Amino acid sequence: MDQATLADLLARCRAFRDARDWQRFHSAFNLIVSLNLEAAELLEFTQWQTEQGLAERLATEPDARQALAHECADVMMYLLMLSDAAGVDLYQSVIDKLAINETRYPVDKARGVSTKYRDL
């Protein structure tokens, strides 16, 4: 199956929402709350784990990897719906932010270091 575009994914999320008459629950405020709740569920994958332990678990346990994939999908769907509700072109926002980050983190200063841009 071909990879869907961001617009295709948004259209499918809208169709899912609209078929259930949920648009009234999808204010920017509610979507921000929901997005953060879903993102917090990603933290459950790290609870009581070491970094190496989590990497091994994801590499060897298909069920764990699938559960992570589902949580990532939840975050992505809420982010798409939030950007839609707020009138934000998510694709263009990513392009714009990458351009900003390219300036903030020039390769010659940022390569291989995790220093914040203001401290480079």
Q: Reply yes or no on whether the pLDDT at 116 is more than 90.
A: no
pLDDT above 70 (res 3):
no
Please determine, for residue 22, whether its predicted confidence score (pLDDT) is greater than 60: yes
- What is d(CA 111, CA 10) in angstroms, rounded to the nearest whole number? 34
Overall average pLDDT of the 44-68 stretch: 95
Residue 69: domain span:
6-88
- Let me know whether 22 and 71 are in one domain: yes
In this structure, the answer to whether residues 69 and 99 fall within a common structural domain is no
pLDDT in tens, 90-99: 999 999 999 9
In a domain, 1, yes or no: no
CA distance 107 to 113: 10
Residues 38 and 83 in one domain: yes
**Do 84 and 100 sit in the same domain of this protein?**
no
Q: Tell whether 10 and 64 lie within a shared domain.
A: yes
Q: Note whether residue 44 is domain-resident.
A: yes
Domains in the chain, number: 2
H or E element at residue 45: none
> In whole angstroms, what is the distance from residue 68 CA to residue 119 CA?
34
